[in-house]
Amino acid sequence: MPSRHNASDSNQNINRRNVIATIGAAGAASLAGCGGQSNGGDGGDGGDGGDGELFPLDVQIEVNADNSDRLQMVELIAESMEQSGYFNTTVETYEWNTYVGRVLDPEYQNNGVIPCIGLSGTFNPGSFCNALHHSDNIGACCNLNGINDSELDDLIDDARYGVDVASDSQLRGERYDEVWNYLAEERYSSITHFDLATAVSNTDVHGFEMWPFAEGTYSYNMFAPQDEQVMWLDRDNAAGDSDLSDLTEGGTMRIAISANVESFDPPHSSDTTSTLAQGFLFEALITSDSEGNVYPWLAESYEALDTQDIDRTAYADYMSTVGTTEEGAVDTDEQVIIQHPEDSPAEDDEVRVLLPDDATEAAEDGTYGMQYRYNLQEGVEFHNGDELTAEDVVATYEYVENSVLAPQTFDSLLTVVQIDEYTVDLYAQVPDAEAERSLPGRSILSSSQIQEVEKGNIDPREGNTPIGTGPYEFSEFEDEQYYEVTKFDNYWTEQKGVSEAFSWFDGSGDFPDGPVIDDFEVEIVPDDSTRSGALQNGEVDSTYGLNTATLDDFKSSEDFLVYGVETGGYEYIQYPVNVAPFDDARLRKAINHLIPRERIVENVLNGYARPAWTDLPALAQGSGTADADALEEEIRPTNEYDVERAGELLDQVAADN
């Protein structure tokens, strides 16, 4: 068995508000290359590991200690590698803050460490390849080990950007199939499984349905007319077969979550529990249903006005020239919207970049990729009494500049321009197949609050009450312990009625005009067993993300209901491709064949997940592949547990070393 250590976190302090968007509160785990002791094991079908001087290769496995499922998964992978006879493996555990600090350190990619990250993808297929592998995300998102492959960058970009894929979903799927096959060949990372998002509620909670992304679990359930979804409390009748005709109003719902809210400031925080909290308070121009279809929300309507066939070199005449740093970064405090594709901060003393004012000038001159117009709902009130106008939308996107969410905003967005009091245009840099969902995806903030606070300080810990347009307003927060939100008396959909507010709503007359629960009290309880006990003891009504070992007990009880749905959440190990011997694709493929995906799902996750035979979950298959069945048939053999094939590949590596 691999040996196991616990590392001190005394010298590893980070600002968790800088945690990248796709790493959720559940934490991350990683695999590495140093230290350990081999014992051979009983599964050495791949050889004795004695060929050449390279093997057995020392591999250290790191994991956050506070996620028992992930720790068990990493230990299972370590054991499988150890038993092959080619590796000495060591498991080392860290507390969550310490571990995130390690993986976000720019030097991490030079350690020979293979991080295993838990991410939340989206309905867009790009979130299952771009964040992990695109060179633009080195140091900005989840490309933690410096993967820099220009051919792969081009494949990913060609599947998302351009008039052809923006107008032809079949072609887009074919382009993404090229990406998945390329990744299978290079094996820069290994997705182990796709999560089954789960929540457990007592039978006082009626109308609950599982949303495929953990951060939206409760905001979706409290009020989602696009799916006729609303939950309510009835403490006298048990949930089960109830429908809208049984709906009761009022009450306080008590929830337990697994981590602290690191910030209530939407662009400047991105972990799952912070986004979940913000979902009570803030809203965006659009929303989507559980299948990913987009609907207007704060925008009463929207339309694509124009698409132009340009690439990013079209902005050269509008670009400013700025210097570069010794570290190979652009030397400017302003948000870089576009860097000229022919310039390199790592090689050039000066580079051409498009800055925010430059971008607005270009759009006004008619240089842009796409133009979308959003007509805002009138009469929408912020919690401070101000009315939502186009000024708030423009101010919000300016506030996003140089924030945690800036990389995934300005990968497509060019600029935002106010047309009149209730009309705003959003421009894409180039034709973008994801523009309809990605351009208007930011939570809209109050321009008056933005003017009063420093960036990143919309947070009660900074003396600033978060102000949004959402159905609940901030009430109380005790750091590391709990927060409370209260129903907003002047919530705009209740003032208008859902039928008037949403021209697309054709649901039941029984569906309410807003959420019906009065208050939410949210307890912060990091320990799984403590949260489970709080639910069993009636201290809370609902929780999510429990250790999978406890779910069957809740499932067998008449007092609780367990909800689950396959999600965009996934976990992966990423190989340090710039550190020998991991720069050899055969080594990476061999380790991939030693990942027992089915055992992880069945023995560790108790069936509450699905093995990742391809890099694409079901919810993103519509635009992410031309033929999902054909893709799985082609890619699955490269992801099967196959000790013999792993041994063949490792023998080849040894022979060349």
Higher model confidence: residue 117 or residue 387? 387
pLDDT band with cut points at 50, 70 and 90 for residue 5: low
pLDDT band with cut points at 50, 70 and 90 for residue 45: very low
- 655's enclosing H/E stretch is helix 643-655
- Could you tell me if 86 and 26 lie in one domain? yes
Domain-embedded: residue 252: yes
| Least confident residue range of 94-108, 179-193, 439-453 | 94-108
Domain-embedded: residue 457: no
Domain boundary among 438, 457, 483: 438
Predicted local confidence at residue 149, as pLDDT: 95
Q: Length of the chain, please?
A: 657
pLDDT per residue as tens digits for the range 102-113: 887 888 889 988
C-beta separation of 646 from 46 below 8 A: yes
Domain-embedded: residue 574: yes
- Could you tell me if 357 and 428 lie in one domain? yes
Residue 533's identity, in one-letter code, is G
- Could you tell me if 186 and 60 lie in one domain? yes
CA distance 254 to 273: 15
pLDDT of 65 higher than 90:
no
pLDDT per residue as tens digits for the range 541-553: 999 989 888 998 9
Residues sharing a CB contact under 8 Å with residue 405, sequence separation 6 or more, in sequence order:
21, 266, 267, 268, 270, 442
% of the chain surpassing 70 pLDDT: 91
- Could you tell me if 179 and 67 lie in one domain? yes
Give the distance from CA 190 to its chain's centroid: 17
pLDDT per residue as tens digits for the range 598-649: 999 999 999 999 999 999 999 999 999 999 999 999 999 999 999 999 999 9
Tokens 């009626």 appear where?
A: 206
Domain boundary among 420, 438, 456: 438
CATH number at residue 510: 3.40.190.10
CA distance 463 to 541: 30
Predicted local confidence at residue 92, as pLDDT: 83
- Could you tell me if 305 and 276 lie in one domain? no
pLDDT per residue as tens digits for the range 200-233: 999 999 999 999 988 999 999 999 999 999 999 9
pLDDT of 379 higher than 90:
yes
Domain count, the chain: 3
Mean pLDDT confidence for 120-136: 90
Domain-embedded: residue 653: no
CA distance 301 to 372: 11
Mean pLDDT confidence for 154-161: 96
* Cα torsion angle, 122, 264, 392, 365, sign: negative
pLDDT of 27 higher than 70:
no
Q: In 3D, which of 351, 345, 346, 355 has the Cα closest to residue 322?
A: 351
Query: By residue range, what is the domain housing residue 545?
Result: 202-293+465-562
Predicted local confidence at residue 13, as pLDDT: 28
pLDDT of 124 higher than 60:
yes
Phi–psi pair at 264, nearest 5 degrees: -95, 10
- Could you tell me if 143 and 189 lie in one domain? yes
DSSP class of 621: H
Predicted local confidence at residue 91, as pLDDT: 86
C-beta separation of 203 from 238 below 8 A: yes
- Could you tell me if 310 and 184 lie in one domain? no
Domain-embedded: residue 338: yes
pLDDT of 6 higher than 90:
no
Domain-embedded: residue 553: yes
pLDDT of 93 higher than 50:
yes
Q: Are strands 57-64 and 23-32 parallel, antiparallel or unpaired?
A: antiparallel
Extract the runs of DSSP E, i.e. beta strands, from 356-428.
370-376, 413-420, 423-428
% of the chain surpassing 90 pLDDT: 76
- Could you tell me if 47 and 138 lie in one domain? yes
Cβ atoms within 10 Å, residue 241: 7
- Could you tell me if 488 and 553 lie in one domain? yes
- Could you tell me if 382 and 476 lie in one domain? no
pLDDT of 23 higher than 50:
no
CA distance 600 to 598: 5
Half-sphere exposure of 162 (CA within 13 A, CB side): 14
pLDDT of 377 higher than 90:
yes
Domain-embedded: residue 246: yes
C-beta separation of 291 from 209 below 8 A: no
Domain-embedded: residue 33: yes
Cβ atoms within 10 Å, residue 286: 18
pLDDT of 235 higher than 80:
yes
Q: How would you classify residue 103: left for phi > 0, otherwise alpha for psi between -120 and 50, otherwise beta?
A: alpha
Domain boundary among 520, 546, 562: 562
Predicted local confidence at residue 603, as pLDDT: 93
Predicted local confidence at residue 339, as pLDDT: 95
Structure tokens at 236: 């006298």
Q: In 3D, which of 626, 508, 532, 588 has the Cα closest to residue 145?
A: 588
Predicted local confidence at residue 467, as pLDDT: 98
CA distance 238 to 560: 10
Structure tokens at 521: 């009290």
Q: Are strands 57-64 and 87-94 parallel, antiparallel or unpaired?
A: parallel
- Could you tell me if 232 and 338 lie in one domain? no
CATH number at residue 328: 3.90.76
Mean pLDDT confidence for 469-497: 97
pLDDT of 22 higher than 60:
no
Tokens 């010794």 appear where?
A: 326
- Could you tell me if 31 and 134 lie in one domain? yes
**Arithmetic mean of pLDDT over the chain:** 89
pLDDT per residue as tens digits for the range 283-306: 999 999 999 999 999 999 999 999
